[in-house]
Structure 1
Amino acid sequence: MAIRYVPYYPDPIEGQAILDNFKRMLKYKGAGDVKKRLERGMPLYELKKVETVGENPNGNMVIRGECVSACAYLKEQGIEVDLVYIDPPFASGADYAKKVYIRRNPKVAEAIARAEQEMDIEELKAFEEKMYGDVWDKEKYLNWMYENLMAIKRVMSETASIYVHLDYHIGHYVKVLLDEIFGEDNFRTEIIWKRKQGNLGQTRQYGVVTDSVFFYTKSNEYYFNPPLSKEGQEEYLKRFKYVDENGRRYRLSPIISPSYSPSLIYEYKGYKPPANGWSLSKETMEQYEKEGRLYFPEDKNQRIQRKQFLDEWEGSPIQNLWTDIYVINPVAAERLDYATQKPEALLERIIKASSNEGMLVADFFGGSGVTAAVANKLGRCFIHCDIGINSIQVTRDRLAADKAEFDIYEIKDGVSLYRNPVQTMDNLKKLIPGLKNEDSLDSFWEGAVSDSKLGLVPVYVPNLMDSSSKLLDKVMMFRIMHEAIPELPSNVKKVIVYYVDIDNLEEIQKFIEDDEDVNIEIELRDLKDVLDDAVFEDYAEFKVSKVQESLIPEYKVEITNFQSDRVSRKIDEYNQKGYANTLSASDETDSEDYNYNEDDEDIKPRKKKFTPILISETGLELIEYISLDCTNQDGVWHSDSEIKIDKLGYVTVNGTKTKDFWDGTIKCEKKPLRLKIRNICGDETIWELSV
């Protein structure tokens, strides 16, 4: 349960006041819940440091947890953020999957290893694992976003800016929320990013090639350095048509004040001032003349003009239509095979424009870690936050490769106990005995179980991806009792309510008992009791030895066997699905070679022969990352030596990429105390070592 609650703002706002004015367009359930949660405050949980990388004097943070809880911690610690960029879910209904590649087994013959160097990417053995389900209805999404944006605003400095990256699915709705939370006067720009050239397929609508990035500030005082660009400025460059005595190209620019100013009306060397005056003070005019930056026409009835030199021109100010930043090339060095990864150039422009060196940049839906990576390269401090373990691992490895220094934390809110909340949600019906879909129930209920005496028993399960539902408090309990239960069929006698985190079990039970309007039984159950039974750690066998291959002795850990029950089950599911598809394709046609005409609906092509994924007895091809801790025997992890194996089998050793294959070992100069192995699906297991 939460340690305590941190206020969102000194004076809680009324909650969606602007939205309430749009009854004809937007009518929300749960708006009252948002108001109550805002009045209650942000839940503050214990934050546990799990790893430190480098000395980290700037206090850079990678946090696994939800935005609201992370903001509660930052506020409690007095940490203020200077720039926020967020790329939250787009409410698009899309599922995002990670491509999981089987690694090269280090035990195969060298001849095979050389052949694999030329292996085509498509030939690699891989399967997909669902990482995130962007499935929301507008009511839940906007209420969730409202609370997150209020939490973010609470930790922004008075001069801070925020960029919110969305698309056509939900952006226009969130714009209304942003106007209310940050104020219409603090809306600066809607940036239109053209992220791709166009759609090749024929459709019955216009192709969507843009995203929107809404730029707001906390106040009227904010840092902004207008970005400049020389891209697409060929016509402008033609204006630099003059050449001075030193061979420098320049253009002429008027020195005319746009508005009347008496102090700028003066005669200069016989040249009369414009009607509104010059745009330069007399002192600046004299300085420009000394520097050779003024052009004096022979006819003194004409105007003095300023020389703008081409070699000093940094570019024209960038407007709000960005067409010069492209999506990441499939073979680009920065590509991480992360579904929602954004290009570094996009974040570089934003970070340079709205922050300075040493400022703190935060991303509370951090994804692939592009914000943190770019902030680090540009000399800014950073906070990366995301609920997904895949995001934390990808970002951790990315930052470590860039020699960044940071600490990794976990918010102990119950949700972070499970590496992949979206997969857990997908598997709940298997984990909860007897739970099945029930068409007669509202979507609020996960399903129902059948009881021989009570009949249909609806079951509520919190959404592990939604911070507004995971905590069972009086606000949520009131909603269940007075909104969800009254909508149930009249013959329902009991409901089951699962929770991951609960405010106070005794107080909630008393709250239920004291309510005379609810006359059905409500049973509370801890979801962790169900989920704990589904957590399996990986198994490994290894040998630890001290070797003297050079003047300096080394320690070597050799992995001889590795087994992962969860990964094996994923591979079995992939193989079974592949075999089933092959069988169904064989039934549809007897011919393997024929010309397929897509207009012929009666004939479907035979699918490509299925090749199953087979794992060796040692299982070493299921390993993605190995690390040794020679510093701490328990507690915070310190990686003194690490190896990461990419999908082609090449290893990155302590942040340095190589063209070597993994040989099944990892070495270090100091005595290793602990071993960490991450499998290809992202599960990490730690073993204590003895030498």
Structure 2
Amino acid sequence: MPELWTPDSPSRVIRGDNLEVVAGLPDGAFTIVYLDPPFNTGRSQTRQSTTSVRSASGSVRGFKGQQYERIRGDLMSYDDHFEDYWSFLEPRLAEAWRLLADDGTLYLHLDYREAHYAKVLLDALFGRASFLNEIIWAYDYGAKSKNRWPTKHDTILVYVKNPNGYHFDSTAVDREPYMAPGLVTPEKVAKGKLPTDVWWHTIVSPTGKEKTGYPTQKPEGILRRIVQASSREGDWVLDFFAGSGTTGAVAAALGRRFVLVDQSEESMAVIRARFAKSGVDVEFVTPDD
């Protein structure tokens, strides 16, 4: 089996079950871990789940002991649909935490229906001090509901490995126009403002240059803010659910190195075509080859 990855490797795209793949990656190697898992929308999905995870202290079921077990039990008894979803997601989050560098940041991109559950459990699992932000990505595209407020946002939960020593560089983030430019000085208008924790950003346009045809593709602008703020040039970025490869494309454009993991043949084909078109230097690895 080929070597999956070391810090001396080039950027890589690894095909396989992400839980099995990341178990072979070294502790503390990534400055950003971004997870955009399948949303638990009630549709039938085929997933492999497991209850064992690796950590520095061995196989564990949570880092906060009884408090975590109680909270998880309460939530699972409250909503049985959540139990299956969290059994899938929980061991992947534990691996993500292991893989984060001491100054690293976890970004968990979720549907609004799961964000409140995940926030409570992540607080219990990793500690409330590690919570940094709840980012709301707001957009205005698609069907408009007639019997409730139309739902036009995703949630991104942000947790840092070390609350006293994480990397965050607001000066590296692209600035955006003021919504009320008449209320600030011309100098500030020209400079723009830093994004807040509400990100107004369009989805990937069906006719735009970014479009790859992958159904859950995220816009480069969202990942660009994440990578700019929470990593430096040369740092490693990991994406468990690579999809169309947006994380890798953005990381490469910003001078970061990356590891992408996905099991889907469709994902691999889209990523190969995307990187071939952009000229990004990347190795494709299948562990079973």
1:90 aligned to 32, 36, 39, which one?
A: 39
- Asked if 1:158 is matched to 2:102, the reply is yes
- Asked if 1:314 is matched to 2:257, the reply is no
1:174 aligned to 110, 113, 118, which one?
A: 118
- Asked if 1:350 is matched to 2:223, the reply is no
Shift of 1:170: 1.5
Q: How does 1:38-53 map to 2 (within 5 A)?
A: 46-47=1-2
- Asked if 1:232 is matched to 2:178, the reply is yes
Q: How does 1:336-375 map to 2 (within 5 A)?
A: 336-375=212-251
Q: How does 1:398-417 map to 2 (within 5 A)?
A: 398-412=274-288
Q: How does 1:417-496 map to 2 (within 5 A)?
A: none
Shift of 1:314: 3.2
CA distance in 1, matches of 2:204, 2:9: 30
Contact 1:228 1:314 in 2 (8 A): no
CA distance in 2, matches of 1:83, 1:218: 10
CA distance in 2, matches of 1:183, 1:86: 19
Shift of 1:58: 5.1
Alignment partner, residue 389 of structure 1 = 265
Task: Decide whether aligned partners of structure 1 residues 186 and 236 sit closer, same or farther in structure 2, where only a CA change above 3 A counts.
Answer: farther
CA distance in 2, matches of 1:237, 1:183: 39
Task: Decide whether aligned partners of structure 1 residues 230 and 147 sit closer, same or farther in structure 2, where only a CA change above 3 A counts.
Answer: closer
Shift of 1:94: 3.8
CA distance in 2, matches of 1:206, 1:234: 25
- Asked if 1:73 is matched to 2:24, the reply is yes
CA distance in 1, matches of 2:160, 2:33: 10
Shift of 1:206: 2.1
Contact 1:93 1:133 in 2 (8 A): no
Letter in 2 for 1:219: N
CA distance in 2, matches of 1:239, 1:314: 10
Alignment partner, residue 612 of structure 1 = none
Alignment partner, residue 572 of structure 1 = none
CA distance in 1, matches of 2:179, 2:116: 32
Contact 1:81 1:160 in 2 (8 A): yes
CA distance in 2, matches of 1:230, 1:239: 15
2:252 aligned to 370, 376, 390, which one?
A: 376
Deviations 1:339-383 (A, max 9, x none): 100001111111101111111011001111000111011110001
Alignment partner, residue 54 of structure 2 = none
Q: Which range moved further: 185-194 or 59-68?
A: 59-68
2:167 aligned to 219, 223, 228, which one?
A: 223
CA distance in 1, matches of 2:216, 2:36: 9
CA distance in 1, matches of 2:256, 2:237: 7
Contact 2:176 2:194 in 1 (8 A): no
Letter in 1 for 2:17: E
CA distance in 2, matches of 1:133, 1:336: 24
Alignment partner, residue 255 of structure 1 = none
Alignment partner, residue 210 of structure 1 = 153
- Asked if 1:200 is matched to 2:76, the reply is no
2:202 aligned to 322, 326, 333, which one?
A: 326
Percent identical pairs in the alignment equals: 33
Task: Decide whether aligned partners of structure 1 residues 68 and 201 sit closer, same or farther in structure 2, where only a CA change above 3 A counts.
Answer: closer
Classify the secondary structure of the residue corresponding to 2:259. strand
Classify the secondary structure of the residue corresponding to 1:372. helix
Shift of 1:238: 4.8
CA distance in 2, matches of 1:198, 1:402: 29
- TM-score, normalising length from structure 1? 0.35
CA distance in 1, matches of 2:132, 2:182: 27
CA distance in 2, matches of 1:317, 1:48: 41
**Which has the bigger relative contact order, CA under 8 A and spacing at least 6?**
2
How many residue pairs end up in the alignment? Answer: 253
Deviations 1:548-569 (A, max 9, x none): xxxxxxxxxxxxxxxxxxxxxx
Shift of 1:233: 4.2
Classify the secondary structure of the residue corresponding to 1:172. helix
Task: Decide whether aligned partners of structure 1 residues 159 and 48 sit closer, same or farther in structure 2, where only a CA change above 3 A counts.
Answer: closer
CA distance in 2, matches of 1:173, 1:384: 26
Alignment partner, residue 77 of structure 2 = none
Shift of 1:222: 0.9
Q: Which runs of 5+ in 2 are unaligned?
A: 49-79
Which has the higher Rg, Structure 1 or Structure 2? Answer: 1
Shift of 1:67: 2.2
Letter in 2 for 1:328: V
Alignment partner, residue 657 of structure 1 = none
Deviations 1:290-334 (A, max 9, x none): xxxxxxxxxxxxxxxxxxx559x63222111111x1011111111
CA distance in 1, matches of 2:221, 2:265: 25
Bigger fraction of residues in strand: 1
Shift of 1:93: 2.8
Task: Decide whether aligned partners of structure 1 residues 143 and 200 sit closer, same or farther in structure 2, where only a CA change above 3 A counts.
Answer: closer
Classify the secondary structure of the residue corresponding to 2:106. strand
Contact 1:68 1:152 in 2 (8 A): no
Task: Decide whether aligned partners of structure 1 residues 47 and 142 sit closer, same or farther in structure 2, where only a CA change above 3 A counts.
Answer: farther
Contact 1:71 1:151 in 2 (8 A): yes
Letter in 2 for 1:403: G
Contact 1:167 1:211 in 2 (8 A): yes
Contact 2:178 2:192 in 1 (8 A): no
Contact 2:139 2:203 in 1 (8 A): yes
CA distance in 2, matches of 1:79, 1:188: 19
Letter in 2 for 1:60: S
Letter in 2 for 1:80: A
Deviations 1:222-280 (A, max 9, x none): 1111235232344256523xxxxxxxxxxxxxxxxxxxxxxxxxxxxxxxxxxxxxxxx
Alignment partner, residue 12 of structure 2 = 61
CA distance in 2, matches of 1:198, 1:368: 21
- TM-score, normalising length from structure 2? 0.79
